[in-house]
């Protein structure tokens, strides 16, 4: 038996979650003064089987930012009243776990200088500006009259049990379908459902800054942990260590995951006219204000990501401070390795509520909710070209688990899909090169180029050939 095949048993990426009708656990909030907002709500309800009783329209400001007083008067109190009337939420009991904010609902609560923080709070945290969503996540605690004067500890931070993220523990998961247009907001749902059906396939790109010491090293360490989590899950992971962001022309294709930092506005690879995001792609660029302009297609990061084809993203609407941003390793571990959906992973990774975070995307999006056996059978049954990505995932996991490169080569050579796959030919070329088989490497790389339809992949493989012949 091929020694490599023994290690395929380590293939544990997909979690076999037992799911009910999660749509019944969602309440959808839209701006009743904007028809586009209602159309997003209706599209989501139809797509995710959300009961009609769970749709809530409120007359809200058309501005992105509202005052604390307006937030309480026009959104928080009317929403609590409506949720109670509809028997969806009453204090910390209810039938819902999620709130979806639709395009047109404000996403920032401005600072109220009349609200004073308690004594003993560090001056940097004596702030009450926040994201609308983070404030609404605390609705199950409203009856306790909690003071919204700054950071409130997330009671389920770092949980390994997704069902613990519920009103019972004082928390609603709030996400939003938003972006530069209402149509793009709708597309987030469509992309999520498509990825759940066919799988999330592609590569991961981690954009480091080359920081090895100092106050910012913790941010760099987080991203290194993300790269390890994703690569151990079997995804080909490309790491850029240069201080600048990945530049224009960077050979990034089929982007399933992206994590980087610290540019104020979208730039480099992601400022190109088109970006090759995979269906279902999750993208995150850490910057203090990356979520402050969600509805702008060209400013900050969240709006541009959505505009270019990402399916889920998150960020901050005001200054959050590094340690109070979502913990990226936790987020990616929960969604990839533990089978959490987007909202569950987000709130399990968020240390602070009544703070700055927004999650933009379908909260129910669960890209890894099936067993590998079911995934493989579906790919074969549907004669999907994505089987090549499944094969590559297994190869990468085997290598991470200690399989010899020579065994991986034999395994790929024996795959019936290998001969017609640019993806597997590229991997074969890399393995040949790493084992000193220069001629075979060049042949495999040339095969990959001839089979590929991706300009970015061709560029990357051509660079690999040049390294063979310096």
| pLDDT recorded at residue 469 | 80
* Residue 298 covered by a domain: no
Calculate mean pLDDT across residues 169-191.
Answer: 97
* Residue 175 covered by a domain: yes
Regarding whether 377 and 349 lie in a shared domain, the answer is no
Regarding whether 456 and 356 lie in a shared domain, the answer is no
Point out the domain boundary residue: 332, 360, 388: 360
Distance of alpha carbon 22 from alpha carbon 464, whole angstroms = 46
pLDDT of residue 455 exceeding 50:
yes
DSSP-assigned letter for residue 340: -
Beta-strand ranges (E) seen in 149-288 are 152-153, 173-177, 203-207, 237-240, 255-261, 277-286
Backbone angles phi, psi at 363, to 5 degrees: -60, -25
Regarding whether 455 and 384 lie in a shared domain, the answer is yes
Structure-token match 């990226």, residue found? 328
Regarding whether 171 and 56 lie in a shared domain, the answer is yes
Regarding whether 452 and 398 lie in a shared domain, the answer is yes
* Residue 68 covered by a domain: yes
Regarding whether 103 and 165 lie in a shared domain, the answer is yes
* Residue 446 covered by a domain: yes
Calculate mean pLDDT across residues 408-420.
Answer: 95
* Residue 39 covered by a domain: yes
Residue 77: band (very low, low, confident or very high) from pLDDT cuts 50, 70, 90: very high
Regarding whether 89 and 61 lie in a shared domain, the answer is yes
* Residue 9 covered by a domain: no
Regarding whether 378 and 353 lie in a shared domain, the answer is no
Report whether 100 contacts 29 (CB < 8 A): yes
The tally of domains found in the chain comes to: 2
DSSP count for the chain of H helices, then E strands:
16, 17
Point out the domain boundary residue: 310, 331, 360: 360
CATH for 449: 1.25.40.10
Regarding whether 421 and 348 lie in a shared domain, the answer is no
Distance of alpha carbon 449 from alpha carbon 443, whole angstroms = 10
Residue 51 or 1, more confident: 51
Nearest to 448 by CA among 247, 207, 221, 251: 251
Calculate mean pLDDT across residues 308-315.
Answer: 97
Distance of alpha carbon 44 from alpha carbon 81, whole angstroms = 23
Calculate mean pLDDT across residues 246-253.
Answer: 93
State the pairing for strand pair 152-153/352-353: antiparallel
pLDDT of residue 147 exceeding 80:
no
pLDDT digits (tens, 9 = 90+) for 334-366: 999 999 999 999 999 999 999 999 999 999 999
Regarding whether 122 and 90 lie in a shared domain, the answer is yes
Which residues constitute the domain of residue 430? 370-468
Regarding whether 384 and 356 lie in a shared domain, the answer is no
* Residue 330 covered by a domain: no
Structure-token match 């730039």, residue found? 267
pLDDT of residue 173 exceeding 90:
yes
Nearest to 329 by CA among 227, 226, 428: 226
Point out the domain boundary residue: 316, 331, 360: 360
Regarding whether 456 and 348 lie in a shared domain, the answer is no
Report whether 335 contacts 368 (CB < 8 A): yes
CA dihedral for 257, 261, 263, 267, sign (positive or negative): negative
Vertex 318: Cα angle to 315 and 321 (nearest 5)? 80
| pLDDT recorded at residue 127 | 83
Q: What is the pTM of this model?
A: 0.93
pLDDT of residue 82 exceeding 70:
yes
* Residue 248 covered by a domain: no
| pLDDT recorded at residue 9 | 39
């Amino acid at each position: 038996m091929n020694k490599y095949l023994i290690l395929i048993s380590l293939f544990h990426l997909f979690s076999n979650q037992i799911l009910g009708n999660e749509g019944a656990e969602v309440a959808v909030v839209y701006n009743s003064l904007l028809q586009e907002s209602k159309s997003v709500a209706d599209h989501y309800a139809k797509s995710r089987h959300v009961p009609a009783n769970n749709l809530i329209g409120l007359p809200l400001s058309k501005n992105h930012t509202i005052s604390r007083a307006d937030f309480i008067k026009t959104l928080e109190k009317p929403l609590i009243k409506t949720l109670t009337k509809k028997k969806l939420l009453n204090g910390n009991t209810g039938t819902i776990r999620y709130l979806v904010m639709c395009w047109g609902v404000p996403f920032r609560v401005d600072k109220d200088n009349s609200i004073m923080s308690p004594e003993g709070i560090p001056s940097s945290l004596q702030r009450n500006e926040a994201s609308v969503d983070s404030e609404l996540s605390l609705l199950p605690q409203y009856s306790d009259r909690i003071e919204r004067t700054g950071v409130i500890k997330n009671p389920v931070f770092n949980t390994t049990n997704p069902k613990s993220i519920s009103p019972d523990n004082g928390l609603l998961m709030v996400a939003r379908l938003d972006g530069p247009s209402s149509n793009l907001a709708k597309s987030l749902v469509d992309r999520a459902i498509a990825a759940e059906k066919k799988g999330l396939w592609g590569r991961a790109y981690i954009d480091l800054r080359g920081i090895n010491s100092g106050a910012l090293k913790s941010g760099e360490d987080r991203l290194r942990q993300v790269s390890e989590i994703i690569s151990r899950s079997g995804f080909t992971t490309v790491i850029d260590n240069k201080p600048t962001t990945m530049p224009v022309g960077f050979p990034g294709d089929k982007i399933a995951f992206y994590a980087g930092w610290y540019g104020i506005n979208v730039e480099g690879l992601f400022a190109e006219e088109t970006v090759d995001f995979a269906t279902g792609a999750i993208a995150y660029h850490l910057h203090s204000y990356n979520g402050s302009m969600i509805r702008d297609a060209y400013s900050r990061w969240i709006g541009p990501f959505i505009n270019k084809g990402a399916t889920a993203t998150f960020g901050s609407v005001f200054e959050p401070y590094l340690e109070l941003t979502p913990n990226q390793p936790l987020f990616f571990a929960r969604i990839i390795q533990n089978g959490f959906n987007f909202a569950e992973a987000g709130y399990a990774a968020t240390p602070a509520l009544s703070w700055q975070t927004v999650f933009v995307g379908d909260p129910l999006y669960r890209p890894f909710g099936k067993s590998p056996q079911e995934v493989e059978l579906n790919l074969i049954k549907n004669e999907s070209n994505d089987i090549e990505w499944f094969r590559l995932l297994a190869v990468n996991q085997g290598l991470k688990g200690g399989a010899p490169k020579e065994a991986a080569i034999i395994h790929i050579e024996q795959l019936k899909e290998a001969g017609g796959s640019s993806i597997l030919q590229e991997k074969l070329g890399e393995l040949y090169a790493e084992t000193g088989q220069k001629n075979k490497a060049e042949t495999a790389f040339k095969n990959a180029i001839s089979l590929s339809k991706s300009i970015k992949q061709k560029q990357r493989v051509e660079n690999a050939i040049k390294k063979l012949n310096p």
